[in-house]
Amino acid sequence: MVLLLREADVAALVTIDEVIDIVESGFREYAAGRAVNRPRQRVQVEGATLHVMAAGIPGWGVLGLKSYAVTRQGRRFFALLYSAETGDLLAMMEADTLGRLRTGAASAVATRYLARAEAGTVGIIGTGWQARTQLEAIARVRPVALVQAYSRTPQRREAFAAEMVQVLGAEVVAVDSAEEAVAGADIVVTMTTAREPVLLGRWLRPGIHVNAAGANAADRRELDAEAVVRADRIVVDSREQAMVESGDLQVPVREGRLSWERVAELGAVVAGDAPGRQGDQEVTLFKSLGIALEDVALMHLVYKRAKEAGRGEEIG
């Protein structure tokens, strides 16, 4: 029997701390060569794009994929989890909540290794559907006391600030520009659909950490080239995927200002095979693309929790 899990099931079955831990464990498996990740593939037709991404963690006994279709009417996310031993389909999940949780968790894992220990002020550019879990997760690994939030729409940033005050129990203020969001921040998050940079290198002060988590296509950029080359340490979730999808990194590479050899993978940092932050004055950058490894790690945890709780609908 296949277990069908809805968005509400996913949200109810795991805590943000558990998601951070399982995503970090997945990266550790990946660094040790005990997991396989395949970059996202896209099928484009007029008015719609289908995105498909897959990974396997054989030591955990699972393989999985996530697919989502984006049209003018919106987007829908679904995930499939298989047994690596029998090939049986174990679960089907609605995967919007799953995606938001794992993306926030990946930023939290990067922040744990790359941000200064006392980092307490966060600037966030973009207050859309992925922004909340970014802040929730980061606040679990650093003592966040102040958030400066910017989006292009004043009403949205004001509403987001009011909501996140309640969620975080910290001071959250809406600001009038991206530069103001970055001013004085220890950690900066970009979570936008921008095609042109929204974060400029000249705004970055020594010691800052950046989680660039919005753009995942070669024709989209959240960072200008100066913001990238100013980073003393550049980390991605998957270098293979970044070489295909990351406009933020591809532009300075084409300009001869960056080499891929300078770019480490988060799994290597987690495993101690590549250095994290080495000093309080370093500028660090995590370019998050969102990889299937994160999805499958979380799907595995959600499935286990569902079986334990007797939650979900069995379909045959």
The conformation of residue 199, written as its DSSP 8-state character, comes to: B
- Is 307 in the active site? no
Q: Which of 255, 226, 246 is nearest to 286 (CA)?
A: 246
One-letter amino acid identity for 164?
Answer: M
* Angle (CA) 92 96 100, round 5°: 125
Q: Count other C-beta atoms under 10 Å from residue 55's C-beta.
A: 24
Give strand pairing partners of 91. Answer: 3, 81
Dist CA 222 CA 170 (whole Å)? 26
Query: What CA–CA distance (Å, rounded) separates 195 from 223?
Result: 10
Which one-letter amino acid corresponds to residue 195? R
- Residue whose entry in the numeric block shows the structure tokens 């003393």: 232
Angle at 113 between CA 173 and CA 239, to 5 degrees: 100
The DSSP output letter for 62 is E
- For residue 88, the tally of other CB atoms under 10 A from its CB is 11
For 3, 20, 274, 303, the CA distances from 310, given in Å and listed in that order, are 10, 23, 41, 10
Burial of 39 (0-12, 13-18, 19+ CB in 10 A): middle
State the catalytic residues: 66
